[in-house]
Amino acid sequence: MEEKLIFVSVGATATAEQEAFVRSIEDRLRSESLIPKTVGRNTFSADAPLKAITELMEKCSGIVVIALERSYFPSGLDKRGGPRQVNLADTRLPTPWNHIEAAMAYTKHLPLLVIVEDGLKAEGLLEPGYDWYVQKLPLAETALVSNEFNGVLADWKEKVLALEPGAGSPSPSPPALRGLNPAELSMLDLVGALRPVQLWSVAIGLAGLLAGAFSLGARLVPPFGERPRPVQGALRPAPPPGGVESPCRSAPLATPGGRSA
């Protein structure tokens, strides 16, 4: 059977019990002709972590998330100071990288096998109810030979083997539009060809135009029921033919003393 690479999301182990549990899962994967790969454990790179993770996932056909206790809080508060404040006790949390790597793998359409240490707080992508089954297991080798674990592993492995090369990659980018007439392209094609930075620039520009238009309209349009005020410096209407302009609109009359009235 052809060996396939499997991305394993697991933080640095803190206890001998955790290390033994992770090794047992890695050995089980190898027995299924699946090679476990973990950044910082058996795979290393000089690139930034996210870049190294992305490049490794491109080579893998599936992912196993092993969520172990990283942080422990004897007591605490959730939504502190609010009307829905909740007291917490014996709270155990995994490394946040479990959530990050699980989300990245899901966007790449890689089959997920999620294993959560029994007792961890169920939240985020480790919470049941998503497109994958979450197994809560004690840190014991016997948990890896149960009927439930064997059945879930077999189902996940079928999806891994059925994954065609490159099927786990993100959806292909839109075709290049260089050299095409923009007038012949739809709005969807134009927007889809923009990069994230360009999309942000367009959004900010549109927001600025809308704000400017609103401000200009607020200045020009009077409130409801109020007569529009004449604009300062505007030209007065010409008098009718043969008519005489009203003295009140003409220049002030000069008095005999030379002072204006």
What is the topology classification, in CATH, of domain 4-75+87-162?
Answer: Rossmann fold (3.40.50)
What's the pLDDT score for residue 170? 46
What's the pLDDT score for residue 256? 47
> Regarding predicted confidence, which is higher, 171 or 56?
56
Q: Which residues of 241-259 are buried (b: 16+ CB within 10 A; e: fewer)?
A: eeeeeeeeeeeeeeeeeee
Question: What's the pLDDT band for 249 if we cut at 50, 70, 90?
Answer: very low
What's the pLDDT score for residue 235? 54
What's the pLDDT score for residue 261? 44
Tell me how many degrees the CA angle 186-188-190 measures, rounded to the nearest 5.
75
Whole-number Å distance between alpha carbons of 204 and 209: 9
What's the pLDDT score for residue 244? 53
Give the mean pLDDT of 80-101.
95
What's the pLDDT score for residue 82? 95
Mean pLDDT of the residues in the chain? 79
Going by their DSSP bridges, the two strands 71-78 and 34-37 should be labelled as unpaired
What's the pLDDT score for residue 41? 93
Map out the domains of the chain as residue ranges. 4-75+87-162
What's the pLDDT score for residue 13? 96
Percent of the chain's residues with pLDDT above 90:
52
Give the mean pLDDT of 186-201.
55
pLDDT surpasses 90 at 87: yes
Whole-number Å distance between alpha carbons of 91 and 72: 6
Query: Which tens digit of pLDDT belongs to each residue from 105-146?
Result: 999 999 999 999 999 998 888 888 777 889 999 999 999 999
> Regarding predicted confidence, which is higher, 24 or 250?
24
